[in-house]
Structure formats: C-alpha cells, structure tokens
Chains A and B, each alone.
Chain A
Amino acid sequence: MNGIVKISWRNVWRNKRRSLVILMAVALGLWGGIFATGLATGMVTQRFRIAIERQISHMQIHHPKFIDYDEVKYHIPEAAELVSHLSSDDFVMSVSARTMASGMVASSAITAGVQIIGVDAEQERATTRFDEFVVDGDYFTDAGRNPVIVGKRLADKMKIEPGSRLVLTFPDMQGEIVRASFRVAGIYQTTHTQLDELRLYVRRSDLQALVGEGEPVNEIAILLNDVEHLSDVIAQLKNRYPELSIRSYAEISPEVSYMQEMAGITYLVIIIIILLALAFGLLNTMLMTVYERTRELGMLMAVGMNKKRVFLMVMLETTFLTFTGAIVGILLGGGTVWLTARNGVDLSGVGGDTLTDFGYDAVVIPELHTSFFLNLVILVLCTSFLASVYPAFKALKMRPAEAIRKD
C-alpha cells in the first residue's frame, strides 16, 4: 500500500505544469465558492439576527383576533400581570408590551397610511435596542407631549424633521376615529427601510390615553436568553394562557426561518456545481495521464500488479491532485472569510438600497460553520472519486500485451 501511495503522489508531479493548472482550477473554484458561501451565510445570519433581535424577537403574544383584524380593541387581557410573570422567568431576557393601531399620518405636505406602535421606552430599548436606530433627534424622553419617532424614508417623503408637527388619525377602542397632534422627537433608520416607511413609534402611555378604556396592550414581544429554550417557554405559556395566540419567530415570519434552513442547502448546491465542473477538468487530466502512461500501466499489469492496485493507484492520484488543490482553496477561502469578517464587506456600493429594502445589512460579516467545511471535505472526496472512476476503468481495460508496445 505504501508503495502505491508513494507512486501515486510522485505521479501527480510528473507533469508539473499540467498538475499545477488543475490544482489552481480546484483552488480558485473553491476559493470563490467558499468566499461566496461565507458572504451569503453572513448575510442570512445577519438577517436572521436582525429579524430576531431588532424586529420580531423570539416570540410574540397577541389576542388571537388581533392577528387577523389588527384593531386596538383586540388586546391582551390582564397584560400587566402577564408581563410581570414573563419578566420573572429565568429564560426571558426582556419583554416589550406594545399598544398598536393602524391609521393615517398627515403633515403639511402629504398623508400616508401607517401602523402606530406605542412602546415603553425602556422595555423597547431592552428588547430591540430601538434607541440605536435613531439617526436624528432623540429617543423618547419624559419631556414634551406626544413625541413620535418616524422612519427616515417616511420623514424624507413627508419632508419632516425633529420638531415638526404631525397629525395621527386612528380608531379608538370603540372604533371611533381619534385625531391627535404629535411632535417629531426623532428620525430612525433600521436595516429594513420598507418597514421604516410604515411604522411610527409613540409612547405607549400616550397612545393608551388616546384609545381609552384602561391600558390596552396588543402585542408582547419576548426576547429569550437562549433560543434553545424557545419551545419550552412557548409550551409553558400555551398551557397557562390557552386563550392567547403565542407564536415563535418561525410562525410569525416563516420566510426568515425558511431562509436560514434553505441557505445551507443552497450554498452546498452551489459548491456541488463548482465541484462538478472541476470534476470534468480532473477527469480530463486523469484520462490524459492514463493514455500517456499506457505502456507503463501495461508493464505494471504484465509484471503482476493486479486490477485492484491499478484502480487504487489512479484513484489515489486523482485524490491527491484534488485534495492538494482543495487544501489550497480552503485555506484561501477560509482565510479570505476570516480577514473580511474583521471589518465586514460593504455592499452598499453594489446593491444600493436594495439590500436594506429587504432587511439586510449593507455591511456583511462573512461567516462559515465547521459543518460547512466537513461537508466540503466529503464533497471533495466524492468529486475525486467521480473524476477517477472512468480513467481508472480505462486503465483496467488495457491489455498488457498491447499496452506495453504502445508508442
């Protein structure tokens, strides 16, 4: 076996130029594939993290009818007690109780349909770090009456700035239309600019005072310490509050969960396509090698090298060729991902606002998981096997008596 390994390895370097060309092809193909996968994985992970940590949270609780009708009157009964219970749960990191109403916003310039979200400043800060999104003006302060924080895209459209006055119109608990004047306290910008255009944030107490009838809460967003506990917490809550709608992020926003699940498979498919293309290059190289060495292979078979060993020799040679290129490609690809992950890759110049329109961060931090590299090694092994089978069979079909005399 050692002798076959030695010959196979030395055979790889018999035609250095040809071997280096195919090695470079494998290395560059994998380099590109690994970096593209790292970039895409980073995008999806960031999108997932943003969706969980800055938008949806791990789970949300609603009145069941609120989900369908989106009306303030469908509020969570005894919400204060529920929030208190959740806040004392060891698995819960933070809770944000929101009062929500759909309505219109009017400035001196235009009118637009919006969702008005009443939040507790501290709860929202702890749950979505919303204060960090404020790019102009201030986050909620105790001072001033009816402050509102407006998305940048809406603010630009409405030509408003901190200090501007807006009129919000929305139905109260009885379904009567309420109009109230608000002052723009700040302008926010998240990574999902389409949502920024639709959502206005006000103080929960201000909104509750306007819609009347106690302190209605329509949504409780919950951020857990660890997503691992999600199913347990949901099960406990469903058991305790069977009349409420308690949903995980995957139920609220299935596309986020689906995207994460599909991402891994999609990138593997991309790598498989790259490796398949490389497999044809390898196959061609190995076929050339086998044809060039017809006389030598004939001699080996004549002197007593059995078919198993001939097959093994061709396979080992292909494997060495593939893996040498793959190691270089993995080092280059992994190195590039590691280097670019330090500061991220700014894609704003490439994608413009398109990325942020769909909730992606324009600065992507590439990342790769260990499982990806394990899968990659298995795929490389399969590629080398596929590329070697046909040349190896060609070698086996040679008849020593004829092969020895081939020029």
Chain B
Amino acid sequence: MTKVIRTENLTKVYNHTVVPVHALGGVDLEVEKGEFTAIIGPSGSGKTTLLNMIGGLDHPTSGRVFVGDTEMTALKESKLIDFRLRNIGFVFQSYNLIPVLTAKENISFIMLLQKRSKEEMEARAIQLLQEVGLTDKADVRPQKLSGGQQQRVAVARALASRPQFVLADEPTANLDTQSAFNLLDIMQKLNEEEHITLLFSTHDQRVIDRARRVIKLVDGKIASDERR
C-alpha cells in the first residue's frame, strides 16, 4: 500500500523557554492510502498537536513529517501554504465556512485558489454537493444551514481540491446524534468508494466505532495502534 503520511520521531514542546510542555514526545506514524484512522486520547494527550503537525499548520520542535515523498517539515512557508492547498483537506470542529459565500461558493473557493477553470469548479462543486446530499442548498449561505449541513459542506470543501488526505479535528463534536451519523455515513462512503484517506482526532465513540484504525495517544506518545 502507498504511504500517504509518515512522521519520524515527531516532538513538540510549547513554552520551552518558560515552563516546557511536552505536547508530543517522539511520534512515529505511518498512514496508508485509503485508511480511516481515528486518533483518540484524553484532553491534552496531543491529538490536535499531532494533526497540526501532519497538516503543516504548526512546526515540530524536532522530527520530520512526510506527505507522499515530500518532506513537509522542510518546506518554506510559501511553499508549505501551496502544498496544503493542493494536498491536504481540512475539516474543523466549528465548520469554519466563509459566511458571505453560499454553500457552492464555499466549495468552489478552494478550487478558485487552485486556479481551476470555472467549468471545472462548477462541475466539481455540484458533484460534491450531491455526494454530501446538499444539492438543494447550493445557493444557501452557511447561517441558514444547520450545524450538520454546515459540516457536510465543510467536508465537500475539504474534498474539492482532490487532496491526498483529509484531516478532521473533532468534526462531530458540535453535532447532534443524527447529524453526526449522517456525516459519518458520508465520510465512510467516501472512504470506502473513493479510497479517500481520512485522519480524525476525536473523543466521539461514534467516530471510533466507524474507524478501521484507532491510534491512542497518551502524554504525547502512541500508547496503542489498533487496526480492525
């Protein structure tokens, strides 16, 4: 199987000049294409920090992150931004849609940054809206969508750029049960049918139950790594 993500002895120390907080203590991790992985652990165990490192949103204190063959930790800021744009999809806990854009425009926006053609953006946005079951909400702005619908738009947005993998930080934390199940159904379907690599950080048992691999972090270290 193709390795999509690889970390080598990843460490992160916050406030190391005052009171050092060891958020990550040497994480070695490999994620293969098409895996549905949940990173679990108690609060402060380093789940979000690990996702930030893998997503290129933060720099490790030491260690390296590879996405495919690219050492992401060696990229300069401008290259890193462009790398994220073309290779990584993000789903955030608070949806973080652009409120002044419609659902379809939110999805197209990533492709617009990638300078895709208008026709391609239109076709892909409609296709993704169909996949997340929101075709009828294409021209609706986020504030008129429910939390579950907003998160489904966020998933569609994350997939719009055809990324190598999608990082989802607590994506179901703000959703009611039904919305969470709907979202997970969609993500599981995308994972199974389109082999999209998904990496979740979560506390949510509903997500853990669906995951085919569960990595448990404790005190910034991998305590267990279970494939199902």
Contacts and interface: CB of A to CB of B under 8 A. Distances in A.
B44 interface: no
Q: Is the interface of A mostly helix, strand, loop or mixed?
A: helix
Nearest to B112: A3
Given A10-B101, A306-B81, A306-B85, 16 more contacts: A3-B112, A7-B100, A298-B96, A299-B96, A302-B55, A302-B90, A303-B90, A304-B81, A304-B84, A304-B113, A304-B161, A307-B81, A309-B113, A400-B57, A401-B58, A404-B57
A309 B185 CA distance: 35
B10 to A, nearest CB: 15
Contact of A304 (B82, B100, B108): B82
Contact of A296 (B52, B98, B114, B157): B98
A16 interface: no
B36 interface: no
A6 B86 CA distance: 22
Interface string B65-97: 000000000000110011011100010101010
A305 B81 CA distance: 7
A295 interface: yes
Given A10-B100, A14-B100, A306-B81, A3 B94 contact: no
A306 B78 contact: yes
Interface of B: 52, 55, 57-58, 77-78, 81-82, 84-86, 90, 92, 94, 96, 98-101, 105, 108-110, 112-114, 157, 161
A301 interface: yes
Contacts of B157: 303
B57 A304 contact: no
Interface in A297-326: 298-307, 309
Interface residues of A, number: 24
Given A304-B81, A404-B92, A7 B113 contact: no
Contacts of A302: 55, 57, 84, 90
Given A303-B85, A304-B86, A399-B58, A404 B96 contact: yes
